[in-house]
């Protein structure tokens, strides 16, 4: 069963997509960029602060689904510069614990609204 999920504790979708979709025991969270959910503006131009906000946005969506970071099984990280990988990796890791989820990290030409980082995740219930 396909069930969209949303919370006002994370940024509203800025296009034709859901914040997250539940399918059976899986939660697919759309790519999150560093928007403050109250202002819909970037928290900062600093990649560390952007990554922290992205992870907080993911956490808010997980919480809405009754989950937390431990439920993440796969992540995709999109960077506007691979030069930021170490900083993003450090912040990302600070929200997680072992066993870490599977992950990919890639540099892309451009991200929505000019973000420095975007992260999408898949989480499992149970």
- Is the pTM of the predicted complex or chain greater than 0.85? yes
Cis-peptide, bond into residue 107, ω within 30° of zero: no
Q: Within 10 Å of residue 103's Cβ, how many Cβ atoms?
A: 16
The answer to whether 117 and 78 are in contact (CB under 8 A) is yes
Residue 37 CA from chain centroid, whole number:
13
From CA 48, how far away is CA 18, in angstroms rounded? 26
Tens digit of pLDDT for each residue in 40-64? 999 999 999 999 999 999 999 999 9
Tens digit of pLDDT for each residue in 4-22? 999 999 999 888 999 999 9
Q: Within 10 Å of residue 49's Cβ, how many Cβ atoms?
A: 15
């Amino acid at each position: 069963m396909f069930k969209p999920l949303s919370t006002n504790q994370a940024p509203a979708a800025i296009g034709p997509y859901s914040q997250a979709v539940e399918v059976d025991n899986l939660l697919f969270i759309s790519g999150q960029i560093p928007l403050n959910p109250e202002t819909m503006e970037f928290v900062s131009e600093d990649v560390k602060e952007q990554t922290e906000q992205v992870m907080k946005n993911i956490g808010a969506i997980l919480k809405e689904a009754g989950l937390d970071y431990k439920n993440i099984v796969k992540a995709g990280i999109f960077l506007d510069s691979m030069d930021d990988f170490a900083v993003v990796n450090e912040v990302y890791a600070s929200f997680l614990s072992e066993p870490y989820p599977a992950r990919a990290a890639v540099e892309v030409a451009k991200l929505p609204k000019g973000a420095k980082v975007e992260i999408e995740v898949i989480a499992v219930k149970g």
